[in-house]
Structures are given as structure tokens and as C-alpha cells.
Structure 1
Amino acid sequence: MILRVLLISLFLFFSLQSSAFSLEPVYSLQDCINIALKKNPEILASKATVNKSFFKIGEARSGYFPQIDLSLGYQRSYLENKIGEEYSKQYSAQMSLSQTLFDFGKTSKQVEIQQQFYKATEWQDRDTVLQTIYSVKESYYSMLKAKKQKETAQEVLKQAQRHLDLAKGFYEVGLKPKIEVTKAEVELSNAKLNLITAEKQLSQALLNLKVAMGAVDMPDFDIKDEDYAVRKLNENEAIQIAIERNPQLQAIKFNKQASISTKELVKKEYFPTFTGSASYGYLNEDFPLDKRWTVFFQMSLPLFSGWSTTYRLKQAESDIVYYSSKEDSLRQQITSQIKNLFVQLKEASQKIETLKIALKQAKENLDLAMGRYEVGIGSSIEVVDAIVLFEQTNTQYWQAIYDYNVTYAQIQKTVGWVE
């Protein structure tokens, strides 16, 4: 007897273990965001762009340092003239150094421009991160809505099946006409079709979430329910923070500053550049080679370049006007967008509170209608109406949850919050 109990216990244990290992993993919203930050190709490409911009600063700084070259050469030539043929050869080895001595701040201004472009690229990268996080959130809440719609469809199917079973029982004992059974069968068929549609929408929502995460090939998974909670936000404070932290706006500001610096750099092209160079080496037709060295100082002053400097100056001025206008336009768009989002957030919050009560009432109404029908005092129409009301209210409730969470995620993206 003890051995039999032990064997049964071991069988149940391994059965539960195998079934547990076969379950799909369950991810929270933060889990999905973390995966996206590591795997999404848009973020990886954005990071590479930031690195490239950083290396351009180093390239600009190279103007502070001397340029050193080493050359080794061998030349053999042939000359034919009236006297006859002549061959000559020459060996050379030389090291040269050149250094900009003074350029009226051109090099430093080039470094400054690249630093401003780098900061703009950093803000653009932040915008990519925020956009990716928003896409994950939107897809996550869309999947959550689809998941709840599937659960609703399953509950409706369960109630429709129960209705059909009751209708058949009443018909068999002569308490209900055949049409009651037929209506219940139609209702059950519609419930099955709705469940098929809900399953398809859930599969599509899961795929969209994987795409947002940048992990299309990862195995299927389930998601956790995100608790609904009203966020206390101040509209004016959100607008002020957005003006200071919105990545698109900040990127435009640094691009405008780079254009101002570019204008200053172009103006410096009217000034001369002082450079110095030196070389040391050996040269001769045969060994041993003769030693030689040279030192050279030069001032370069552009006198006429076909008005190219003037045109570059006008281009920089046009860029300044462009970015200034874009900055003003985007600031107005951000203010308007946040105001509209707060209106939508308030509307969704009010809907949720109302639908939460309506959903409870719809479930009670369904239970009452099914109970009345079960004891033979209710009608089939009453049951169908109760099931439809329950389904519609459930769908509206989770749509309101989706609207609230996605609207809040839009506010976070616009303001520049990374959460």
C-alpha cells in the first residue's frame, strides 16, 4: 500500500513538472521593454550613429596635432638622345612633419561644431529609445486587450453552450418549443466564430509585440496583466518638462547651435592660416646616400574662391532660420499635443470608472437571466440580450483600459520620460 502511494506520488510529481516545463514564459511590460532595448535593430543602429558622431569629434581634434609622413622611394629612368642612351637611378628616404601654427580658431570651431552635432545625435538616439518603448507599450496593451477579448469570447461560448443545453433539456420534456433550441444553436455558432476571431487577433497582437521588441523569431509567450491605476499628472508641469526634455526639440536646438557655429567658421575662412613644415632624409643615385633637411613656414590667405565662401555663409544663415522655425513649430505642436492627450486621458479615466460598474452589473444581469431561464421563468431573448450586453461591456471596458494606458504612454514619450 505504501509502495503504491509512493509510485502514484512520483507519477504526479513528474507529470506536474513536465507540464510546468511546457508552459509558455510569462513576461511583464518591463521585461518586454528590456528585451527591446537590447535587441531592437533601430536602437542598435541609433547607437552606432552616436558612436560615429563621437569619433568625428576626434577627427576634428586631429587638426591640433602634427602630421607626420614617412616615404621611401626608388626611381629608375631611361633617356635616349643624340649622344646615346643613358640610364639613371635614385634612392630616397624622407620623414616630413607639418603643423598648423595658427588658424584664427578654425580648428577649435570645427571641434565645437562636431560636439554640437554629437549632442544632437544623442538626443536623436534618446528619441529612438522613447519611440521604441512607446511601440512596445502600445503593442503590449493591444495584446492585453486581445487577451481579455479572448477570455470574454470563451466566457460567452461557455454561457452559450449552457444556454443550448438548457434549451435542449426543456425541449425534450416539452417545456420549450424547437425554435428555442435553434436560436441557442445559432448563438453558439456565433460565439464559436467570435472566439476564432479573438484567437486570430491575439496571435496578430503577439506578433506585433515581437516586432516592436525587435525579436520576431523568439518563441511565443504570454504577458502579465498590468494593474490599472490613475496617474496624477499636472498638465502645465508636463508641458514645461517637455519643453526642456523632449528629444526632438533638444536635437533641433543643438542642430541650430551647430549652424550658428558653422556660420562663424565660414567667416574665419577670410583670415589667413599659418603652417610650418620640416623634412629630414637621404637622397642619392647610389649608396651611401646624401643627407638633407628642410624647414618651411607658410602663410595661406584665400583671395578669391569664386564666391564659394559667400555662398556657404548664406547656406549657414538659411540653416539657422530653418532650425529656428522648426524649433518654434515643434514647441507649439508639443504644447497642443500634450493638452489633447490630457483631455483623452481624463475621458478614458472616466470611462473606466463607469464601465467598471457597468461590467459588474452586466455580469449580475447575465447570472440572473441564466438563472431565470434555468428554472423555466425566463425567455431565450432575455438570455441572449444578457450575453450580448456582457460581451459589449467587457469589450468597452478593456478598450478604455487600452486607451488610458496608451495615452499615458504617449504623454511619457512626448515629455521625454524613460520609464
Structure 2
Amino acid sequence: MRSNARLLTLATLTGVCTNAALAFGTIDPFDTSAITPPRPNLSATAEGSYAPCKAIPSGSIYGLLEVVDQALCQNPNTHEVWANARVQAAQVGVAQSAFLPKLDGNLATSRVRKQGENTTLRSASLTLSWLIYDFGARSANLEAARQLLSAATSTLDATVQSVFLAALQSYYNTQAARAAVIAAQESEKSSRESFTAAEARYRIGTGTPADRLQAQTAWSQATLNRIKAEGVARIAYGTLANVMGMNAGQSLQLADIPEITPSADIERDIDALIVEAQQRRPDLKAAEAQLKAAQANVDYTRSAGLPTLALSTGPVWTDSGSITSHSSAIGVTLTLPLFSGFSTSYRVRSAQASAEVAGAQRDNVRLQVALDVWSAYQSLITATQSVKTSADLLASAEQSERVALGRYKAGVGTILDLLNAQSALAAARLQRIQATLDWNVFRAALAKAIGTLDGSLLNSAAGTHTQ
């Protein structure tokens, strides 16, 4: 009976410990949830009452807002960095816990056989230990944990902006592919019309077989271009679905892009943009935090070789069957590291070198920020000028094609003039599409280079199109 009672008591204690262990992941006495970054979405920047990370019904039309929001909510890259940020937030709690005392319980039982007699020994103890002084090791460790959390948060922001830009770029690439298919269909239609005109002139004797063959060749080439454009569009749709965290074969319907009018005051002080980027860029903030964490680790490593002072106290119970005792003790322990085989010295040197590495990486990121801003700004200026010029080029090419077709039908123009005009029109359409794509992408790329890419960029570019 006593054995069964002991087993029951042990099972009860084991159950209590198991339940306590399961509850450890739910309590948050240091309120680390307050310093944990929120889940990536557009709720803080999207206009109106748009609900972030909502499920989009099947068959809905996706605008730019929905595409970017789905990418931020469903892309595995944002899930990974958000989880890493939560890991670092929990590590701050771990570092803070080192300042609190620790209470440990110990239960032991043993069976001793001596001179033919069996004796059961039982003991129990509670030990309260508290590290009182450690020359700043815990403080340095806490500072390193906080800086690593800051780095993880900034890395999350940088990844969000990268996914944001990737979604936006993929969206406009897909829209450009759609437009290219339409342009290829128009070119195919024009080529077919030219072949029809050449065929009519050939039948009435005013055209040559060469004109007819040239028109047929141009029509076949236009058909081939249309087939290729449709293939490129299918790949673009698959890439867009992938960025949004969907299977590549997911069917998507996209809203039409409104005609853009580049702002006339696009030119800005490039030096001011670089300074702003150096203050805003999350990857530079992450590099700065990594440097501070490495510097704090130097202090922590150095303190690890210094003395520590700890307090310990607690009661002890023993039961040998015939004798039961109860005692308690309190003591102060001073630990003096005298010799560690020079390991502490080399750890400090390693930590110092790691801090130098982090400093060099920070400087490299700072230089890259300036280059990113410079390149994105120049690309946007070029794209703005290209949009205006491509519009004029398209209007001129359309007029030229209409004149060439009319002259050929009237018998005063050659088939070569008509085919050249149609080829120039097809090229002008593609250049117009590319210029529009470049302007939209480079505008977002400049915002990312500065560190200001967020939902406010979408408010003027797209609305909500969900049906």
C-alpha cells in the first residue's frame, strides 16, 4: 500500500510538472509581446476600411492592393522573418530572467541493503539561488538581446519591403504581358488586313506575287509573335501567383491599370534623398543593431572572466525510516575564475573581431544605400521621360500606319512601305508598354531605396476591386 501511495504521489507530481511545462509557453511576465512586431500586412497604411489578410473569394478581380496584401500575408519569406523576430523577442525575456532568483526542488528516494536489512532513504529540498553581482555580464547580455531584437525587427521591415516590391513588380510585369498580348493581337489583325489588301490587288492584277508573299510572311510572323506573347503572359501569371503565396497554376483575374500621368515635379535633391534613406532604410538599421549587439557581446565576454557573487538558501528534509531530520541553510558564494587556459582572453579577442566585422558590414550597407537611391532615382527620371516620348512615338506610328495602309489600298503605295509602318507601330506599342512598366516599377524601387515603400504608394495607384 505504501508503495502504491508513493507511485501515486510521484505520478501526481509528474502531472503537475507536465502541466506547468505546458503553461510555460503561454505566460509572459516580462510583456515581450509588447515589443514583438505585428504580423506583416497593409492595415497601417492602406486607406479606408480595408481588412488585411482576408480571404479573397474565388473568381474575384485582383487589384494592386489585394495582390500586395496577399503577398505580405501569405508569402513564406514574411512568415520566416516574422517568426525570427518573435524568437528574438523571447530571447529578451530570457535575458531579463537572469536578474531574478531561481527556485529549484529536489526529491530523491533510494533503497539501501545493509547486513541483511533494507532501508528506504528519502530526501527533499528547496533551493533558492540568486546571482547578486556579476560585473555587468547580465546587463551586457540583455543589451545584446535587445539589439538583436531591433535587428530582427528591421530585417522584418526590410523583407516586407522586398516582398512588397516583388509583388508590385510581378503585378506590373503581368499587366505588361497582358498588354503585350493585346498589342500582338492588334498587330496580327493589321497584318491580316494587309494580306487581304495584297490578295485583293493580286487578284485584280494591280499587285505582284511578291507583294502577296511578303504580306503573308508578315502575317505569319505577327501570329508567331502573338503566340509567344501569350506564353510569356502565362509565365507572368504563374510568377505573380507564386509571389502571392499561391500555386503557380492558380487562376487570377486582374483589374485594368489606369492610364498614368507622371508627375511633373519628379526631380528632387538627390543628396537629400540619400540622407533620408540613411535614416529610414531598415536594412541599415538592422546592420546598426547588429553592430551594437556585437559590441555588447564584447562586454559580456569580458565579464564572463570576472568574479560573481551569489546567494543561496533553502530547507532540506531527510527520512531514513527510523530517523527524520529537517535542516535549513543560507550562504553566499563568491566565484573567482583564476585560470581557464586563456580561453576567456581568446573569446574576448574573437568578440572584438566580430564587432569589427559587424562595423564593416554596416559601412558596406551604408554605401549600398547611397548607390540604391542614386540608381533608382536616375532610372525613374529616365522612365518618366520615356513615358512621355513613347506616347508621342505611338501616336506618330499609328498615324503613319493608317496613311501607309490607305496609300497601298489606293494603289499609290508599296507593300514594303506598309509593312515597315506596321513593324514600326508594333515596336512603338511594345515600347509604350515597357515605358509604362518601367515607370511604375522604378517609382516603387525608389521608395524602397529610400525606405518609404508602404501602402500609401498604392492609394494613388489602385483601389479595391474585390467582387
* 2:309 pairs with 1:274: yes
1:311-334 CA distance string (max 9 Å, x none): 121112112221222222222222
Counterparts of 2:59 and 2:422, CA distance in 1: 31
Contact 2:61 2:252 (8 Å CA) reproduced: no
* 2:235 pairs with 1:204: yes
Q: Which residue of 2 aligns with 1:262?
A: 297
Q: Cα RMSD between the aligned structures? A: 2.1
Q: Which residue of 2 aligns with 1:346?
A: 381
Q: Which residue of 2 aligns with 1:98?
A: 129
Relative to the length of structure 2, the TM-score reads 0.80
Rg larger in 1 or in 2?
1
Counterparts of 1:275 and 1:24, CA distance in 2: 66
AA aligned to 2:176 is: K
Q: Which residue of 2 aligns with 1:224?
A: 256
Q: How does 1:228-247 map to 2 (within 5 A)?
A: 228-231=260-263, 232=266, 233-247=268-282
* 2:169 pairs with 1:138: yes
Secondary structure, counterpart of 1:75 in structure 2: strand
Counterparts of 2:395 and 2:323, CA distance in 1: 104
Counterparts of 1:416 and 1:87, CA distance in 2: 76
Secondary structure, counterpart of 1:411 in structure 2: helix
Deviation at 1:266, TM superposition (A): 2.4
Counterparts of 2:332 and 2:306, CA distance in 1: 17
Q: Which residue of 2 aligns with 1:161?
A: 192
Q: Which residue of 2 aligns with 1:20?
A: none
Q: Count residues in correspondence.
A: 394
Contact 1:24 1:222 (8 Å CA) reproduced: no
Please identify, of 294-303 and 48-57, the stretch whose mean Cα deviation from structure 2 is larger.
Answer: 294-303
Contact 1:29 1:224 (8 Å CA) reproduced: no
1:220-278 CA distance string (max 9 Å, x none): 32243154343524312210111111122111111111111112222323432111112
Identical residues among aligned pairs (%): 25
Deviation at 1:384, TM superposition (A): 0.8
Q: Which residue of 2 aligns with 1:395?
A: 430
Unmatched 5+ stretches in structure 2: 1-57, 455-467
Q: Which residue of 2 aligns with 1:6?
A: none
Relative to the length of structure 1, the TM-score reads 0.88
Q: Which residue of 2 aligns with 1:108?
A: 139
Q: Which residue of 1 aligns with 2:178?
A: 147
Contact 2:119 2:321 (8 Å CA) reproduced: no
Match of 1:183 among 197, 214, 218: 214
Contact 1:143 1:202 (8 Å CA) reproduced: yes
1:100-155 CA distance string (max 9 Å, x none): 12223322221111001100111111111111111112212221221111111000
Deviation at 1:72, TM superposition (A): 2.0
Counterparts of 1:138 and 1:160, CA distance in 2: 32
Contact 2:137 2:299 (8 Å CA) reproduced: no
Contact 2:380 2:446 (8 Å CA) reproduced: no
AA aligned to 1:265 is: Y
Contact 1:270 1:302 (8 Å CA) reproduced: yes
Secondary structure, counterpart of 1:64 in structure 2: coil
Counterparts of 2:86 and 2:326, CA distance in 1: 45
Contact 1:113 1:262 (8 Å CA) reproduced: yes
Q: Which residue of 2 aligns with 1:171?
A: 202
Counterparts of 2:259 and 2:154, CA distance in 1: 31
Deviation at 1:288, TM superposition (A): 7.6
Residues 134 and 287 of structure 1, relative CA distance in 2, 3 Å threshold: farther
Contact 1:369 1:386 (8 Å CA) reproduced: yes
Counterparts of 1:111 and 1:310, CA distance in 2: 22
AA aligned to 2:260 is: Y
Match of 2:356 among 299, 304, 321: 321
Contact 1:91 1:289 (8 Å CA) reproduced: no
Contact 1:116 1:258 (8 Å CA) reproduced: yes
Deviation at 1:24, TM superposition (A): 5.3
Deviation at 1:39, TM superposition (A): 0.2
Counterparts of 2:209 and 2:168, CA distance in 1: 50
Deviation at 1:200, TM superposition (A): 0.3
Please identify, of 133-142 and 41-50, the stretch whose mean Cα deviation from structure 2 is larger.
Answer: 133-142
AA aligned to 1:35 is: Q
Unmatched 5+ stretches in structure 1: 1-22
AA aligned to 1:329 is: N
* 2:414 pairs with 1:379: yes
Structure that is richer in helix per residue: 1
Please identify, of 290-299 and 214-223, the stretch whose mean Cα deviation from structure 2 is larger.
Answer: 214-223
Counterparts of 2:219 and 2:292, CA distance in 1: 66
